[in-house]
Amino acid sequence: MKDYLAKRPMLLCSIICCFISVVGFYSSKSLILYGILTAILIGGLFFYKAKPEFIFVGVLVFVMILSTVNITARTKNLSKLDGLCCTAEAVVVQTENKNNYSVAVVEITESNTIPSGSKINVYCYDETLKVGDYINADFNLSKIENSYKASSYSNKIFLTANISDVSVLDKKDDLLIFFEDIRNYIRKTIFSNTDYAEASTITALVFGDKSYFTDNFYLSVKRAGVAHSMVVSGMHLAIIVSLFTKSFEKFIYNKFIRGFIILAVVIILTAVCGFTMSMFRAGGTYIVAALGLMLDKDNTSENALGTATSITLIISPFAIFNVGFRLSVLSTFGILAVAIPVCDYIKRNELLKLKISQTILFAFIINISATLFTMPTLINTYGEISLVSVIANLMISYFITLILCLSVSGLIINPFIPYISEMIFSVCNLLAKLVDSIIEFFGSLSFSSVKVSKYVSLVSISVILILFHIMARVKEQEEKIKRKLILEKIYKEAKTYKSKRYFNIKK
């Protein structure tokens, strides 16, 4: 375990950052002690001339502590505004319009009471709010408490308010409107070319909008244990990025251009998905990988994941409480730490000869790894364990890949050749119908899930730690064997060279 983490310093950094995030949320005063200890540690690392990467990790951890101290101080100051009424100017960042009211997230731009840049979850009656609009309104402020506190704080929202006397100003935020227009185009294209239920699933898969799910279907999603497949994260981003890179790899060989294409695709997709925590993490991982490609630097996948997770937590210290973010990180880590090494071992030793059986087994291993590592979060969030999760995810994963690839292709083609786009979406409609049927079938089974105590998550965490420890030890042993074989080869070559040289001298 020690050697494994020593070779993946950014993974270690992300684990420490997660710990600091939790400490800061529940006991902000203890952060001062951790800050002092980290400063002493950094000084010790400099004194003993430790490797630069470990000094860098120490600095990042110290920055994480400062960021968490800053955000906790900000939350306390904003909580003091509870019960106040004031007039403020704000820009609408995100909105969801109901029957007779709007729920939105606004960012304060000008106010004598509320600090600029503060995000507020607002409720507005008899008024339709639009993303990108600047509004002036009366805010009746309330602090966030109870079960909503952690999830709101994870999105850097520290206040809620009812607003009235809303007036829309002449100025607009063109960038927010641009990406909202893209989202509206995606919704309109999908819903006009597919049936409502199937369009709801495709929309959720393409950019994470699950607002069109019915309550019954969302219940089936939870009971079938496919919630992490419905969170737009690393898996979805990997599929879409692969679609673009494979489309261009035959024509573009320059590593800088290829890296730039990956960066552009990731940034655009992350923005279209609304900069959710899961997409921010997944996008960060790909940006690190793209920079590695452009700079010609080797980097382990775990280090890329650790870097993205650490940066996300530094920017938003309470992101750890975002369910989508945790599902994204844990499922990705489960695949990287367990599934890929096991699959590589099977492939390297040719344990399975038939390619089809190998593909099925690999899909099973990947799904069971992702399910196992996300289990603590799923138990804490939903209070139940899905008994059919692995088989349900295995059955829909291939169809989800097809739906994503075809949907993105159809959305790109639609403005130019609409009749081909219609044909593509008709196929997507059939595939989405099949995915919905699988989810509803498994979700409706009487034994599909069982209610469990949240303390069971501690058991699942213990299992994950034991499995992770075993995999780390196996990797260490494999690396030792590789080093031994290399040294034996060098020794044999050196011995052969000496014997030849001796023979030539004698001759």
**Residue 318 phi, psi dihedral angles, 5° rounding:** -100, 15
pLDDT digits (tens, 9 = 90+) for 80-95: 999 999 999 999 998 8
SS (H, E, C) 177-231: HHHHHHHHHHHHHHHHHCCHHHHHHHHHHHHCCCCCCCHHHHHHHHHHCCHHHCC
- The pLDDT value recorded for residue 499 is 58
- 64 and 91: one domain? no
Q: What is the pLDDT of residue 202?
A: 92
**pLDDT > 70: what percent of the chain?**
82
* Number of structural domains found in the chain: 3
Same domain flag for 304 and 399: yes
Domain presence at residue 159: yes
Share of residues in the chain with pLDDT > 90 (%): 34
Is the pLDDT at 314 greater than 60? The verdict is: yes
In a domain, 478, yes or no: no
State the DSSP H helix or E strand holding residue 382, giving kind and residue range, or none if neither.
Answer: helix 355-382
Q: What is the pLDDT of residue 360?
A: 82
The predicted pLDDT at position 423 comes to 95
Half-sphere exposure of 231 (CA within 13 A, CB side): 29
pLDDT for 259 equals: 66
Contact by Cβ (8 Å): 313, 18: yes
Q: Is the confidence at residue 167, as pLDDT, over 80?
A: yes
The pLDDT of 58-83, averaged and rounded, is 93
Q: What is the pLDDT of residue 275?
A: 66
The count of C-alpha atoms lying within 13 angstroms of the C-alpha of 456, restricted to the half-sphere facing its C-beta, is 15
**Residue pLDDT, tens place only, 465-501:** 888 777 777 766 766 776 777 777 777 766 665 555 5
Best CA proximity match to 240, nearest among 421, 371, 406: 406
Tell me how crowded residue 310 is: count the other CB atoms within 10 A of its CB.
Answer: 25
Q: Give the residue with greater pLDDT, 473 vs 430.
A: 430
Mean pLDDT of the chain: 83
- CA proximity to 206, closest of 232, 188, 227: 232
Q: Is residue 473 a part of any domain in this protein?
A: no
HSE at residue 303, side-chain half, CA atoms within 13 A, is 16
Q: Of 238-242, 278-282, 461-465, 469-473, which one has max mean pLDDT?
A: 461-465
260 versus 211: which is more confidently predicted? 211
Looking at the structure, tell me whether residues 263 and 139 fall in a common domain: no
Task: Encode burial over 330-342: b for 16+ CB neighbours within 10 A, e otherwise.
Answer: bbbbbbbbbbbbb
> Which residues are registered as beta bridge partners of 138?
87, 164
Structure tokens at 172: 């607009």
Domain that holds residue 35: 2-79
Q: Find how far residue 247's CA is from the centre of its chain.
A: 24
Q: Which of 5-14, 29-38, 150-159 has the lowest mean pLDDT?
A: 5-14
pLDDT score of 293 more than 70: no
Residue 500 falls within a domain, yes or no? no
Q: How far is CA 408 from CA 197, 241, 447, in A?
A: 19, 11, 36
User: Does residue 505 lie in a domain region?
Assistant: no
What is the C-alpha separation between 73 and 426, in angstroms, rounded? 53
Whether residue 310 sits in one domain with residue 201: yes
Residues 237 and 376 in one domain: yes
Residues 214 and 147 in one domain: no
Residue 230's φ and ψ, nearest 5 degrees, are -95, 0
pLDDT for 342 equals: 85
Mean pLDDT of 236-242: 68
Residue 295: what pLDDT? 54
Q: Note whether 237 and 205 are within 8 A (CB).
A: no
**379 domain residue, yes or no:** yes
DSSP 426-474: HHHHHHHHHHHHHHHHHHHSTTSEEE--TTHHHHHHHHHHHHHHHHHHH
Query: Same domain, yes or no, for 188 and 286?
Result: yes
Same domain, 203 and 349: yes
pTM of the model: 0.79
Helices vs strands, H then E, count in the chain: 18, 7
Q: In 52-133, which ranges are continuous DSSP H helix?
A: 52-79
Q: Report yes or no on 494 lying in a domain.
A: no
Residue 466 token pair: 């034991």
Assigned token pair, 307: 């870097």
